[in-house]
Amino acid sequence: MSRLELDRSDSWLTREELDAARERLPMLYVDAVPVRVDERGAVTAVGLLLRASDGAINRELVSGRVLYHERVRDAVIRHLEKDLGRMCLPQMPASPQPFTVAEYFPTPGVTAYHDPRQHAVALAFVVPVAGDCQPQQDALDLAWLTPEEATDPALLREMDGGHGALLRQAMAHLGHAV
């Protein structure tokens, strides 16, 4: 086990410690929009997860917390592999740049982003994936949509917690009409 892996194992908070921190501090997250690209780099498909949470089934983006002493790029890759499988083969650029910063609040309506558990700041990335992707963990399904399907207003409204707004921003960032 490497030194970094040893350090990371101590970075997990107990449920009580995490709840206490969430009451006092904004938490750092990453959001990722997995995409398939053609040989020219144009987006051909957008991957959306299907998850059940709080009695509802919603489409979501890949999302998760950045751990203490973890690089942001490593957090993005870890969450992509956790949700899409280790063979998803994310293609992170040498110098990853988020397309936006999303600020989630526990109070609905402060921003377009809502997380009832906490105040969180998420760096949002569009990440091409080149490998075999299968839903993992608590994801029920993974759907690959065309850019046009991904910008359907009805689909965007069905996404919970502001993920629809985030997907809309990602598609605009990629040059697609929204």
**DSSP assignment of 61-105:** -EEEEPPTT--HHHHHHHHHHHHH-GGG-B---SS---SEEEEEB
pLDDT > 90 fraction of the chain, expressed in percent and rounded: 76
Instruction: Round to whole Å and give the CA distance between 78 and 64.
Output: 9
What's the confidence (pLDDT) of residue 3?
A: 44
Q: Name the band, by pLDDT with cuts 50, 70 and 90, for residue 9.
A: low
